[in-house]
């Protein structure tokens, strides 16, 4: 016979309240992209219109009439566009002609994502670093990769791992570090309503597994904070 504690955990799991991340991959159905974007937007608008109706909103009002279509377009074409692999940025590699062998750090990349548990924003900064394996990419491509993985319903731990793996693949190197520092509006807008906290996650691979290299990376981030 399960204990009361075990029964509570079973109940929470069935309700989806444990917030367990089962995989570093975003959970998608096999037929996730069988439907074209126009059809998705049409159906989302239809269902969102029903949600607004259930909430008691007057959809004949000029301000609200177009909201279902705007939300549908925003979901598919903007804030959740990173779900579709077709939208992954194309990254061209270039020879490291400057023979720069030191750590390259890109810090304070703006992060806008959405929590997959409540579909409200996650807002913060992403800091990344890497050592060239003989190839480099344009700096803007790093930002584009970060934004690609952020534009889907996310868990911050998964997002951190996906950015790190994406950069390793793009840069053809294991020597990658990622740090994400973000505020979750599901914490500040609802529930505990804590407005001052942030969540920090990190991923260190290759040379960054060495304490001295990690400390160098963290020192660069501290310099940026002091300069700000």
Domain residue extents for the chain: 32-79, 94-227
Identify which of 151, 155, 177, 153 has the alpha carbon closest to the alpha carbon of residue 165: 177
* DSSP 8-state class, residue 3: -
**Which residue did the predictor score with more confidence, 194 or 64?**
64
- What the block records as the tokens of 98 is 């400057």
- Percent of the chain whose pLDDT exceeds 90: 72
Active-site entry in 127, 147, 162, 186: 186
Taking only the tens place, the pLDDT of each residue in 58-84 is: 999 999 999 999 999 999 999 999 999
Active site residue 156: yes
Active site residue 162: no
Identify which of 194, 169, 200 has the alpha carbon closest to the alpha carbon of residue 182: 200
* DSSP 8-state class, residue 76: I
Give DSSP secondary structure letters for 4-58. HHHHHHHHHHHTT-S-----SS----TTTTSS-HHHHHHHHHHHHHHHHHHTT--
pLDDT at 3: 53
Active-site entry in 112, 117, 157, 205: 117
The CATH number assigned to the domain with range 94-227 reads 3.30.1130.10
Please state which of the four CATH numbers 1.10.286.10, 1.10.40.30, 1.10.10.60, 1.10.3720.10 is assigned to the domain occupying 32-79.
1.10.286.10
Active-site entry in 106, 118, 157, 216: 118
- pLDDT of 131 over the 90 cut: yes
pLDDT at 6: 43
pTM (two decimals): 0.86
Taking only the tens place, the pLDDT of each residue in 137-169 is: 888 999 999 999 999 999 999 999 999 999 999
Q: Which of 129-133, 159-163, 223-227 has the lowest mean pLDDT?
A: 223-227
Query: Tokens 């002609």 appear where?
Result: 97
Active-site entry in 116, 157, 205, 216: 116
Q: Count the Cβ atoms, other than its own, within 10 Å of residue 115.
A: 19
Active site residue 116: yes
pLDDT at 195: 66
Active site residue 184: yes
Active-site entry in 154, 156, 162, 168: 156
Active-site entry in 127, 147, 168, 184: 184
Active-site entry in 115, 127, 147, 168: 115
Taking only the tens place, the pLDDT of each residue in 88-119 is: 999 888 888 877 889 999 999 999 999 999 99
Active site residue 195: no
- Residues 25 and 225: their CA atoms lie apart, in Å, by 32
Identify which of 117, 105, 126, 137 has the alpha carbon closest to the alpha carbon of residue 214: 105
- pLDDT of 8 over the 90 cut: no
- Residues 110 and 126: their CA atoms lie apart, in Å, by 7
pLDDT band at 220 (very low <50, low <70, confident <90, very high): very high
Query: Tokens 């060239």 appear where?
Result: 132
Active site residue 186: yes
């Amino acid at each position: 016979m399960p204990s009361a504690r075990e029964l509570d955990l079973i109940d929470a799991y069935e309700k989806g309240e444990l917030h367990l991340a089962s995989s570093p991959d975003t959970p998608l159905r096999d037929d996730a992209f069988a439907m074209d974007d126009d059809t998705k937007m049409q159906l989302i608008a239809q269902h969102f219109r029903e949600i607004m109706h259930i909430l008691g909103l007057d959809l004949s009002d000029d301000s609200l009439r177009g909201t279902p279509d705007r939300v549908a377009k925003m979901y598919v074409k903007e804030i959740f566009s990173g779900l579709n692999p077709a939208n992954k940025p194309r990254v061209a590699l270039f020879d490291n002609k400057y023979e720069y062998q030191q750590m390259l750090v890109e810090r304070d990349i703006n992060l806008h994502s959405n929590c997959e548990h409540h579909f409200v924003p996650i807002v913060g900064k992403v800091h990344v670093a890497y050592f060239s394996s003989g190839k480099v990419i344009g700096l803007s491509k790093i930002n584009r990769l970060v934004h690609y993985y952020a534009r889907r319903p996310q868990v911050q731990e998964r997002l951190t791992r996906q950015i790190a793996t994406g950069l390793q693949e793009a840069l053809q190197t294991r020597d990658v570090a990622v740090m994400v520092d973000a505020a979750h509006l599901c914490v500040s807008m609802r529930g505990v309503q804590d407005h001052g906290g942030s969540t920090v996650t990190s991923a260190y691979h290759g040379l960054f597994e060495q304490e001295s290299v990690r400390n160098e990376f963290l020192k660069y981030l501290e310099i940026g904070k002091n300069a700000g």
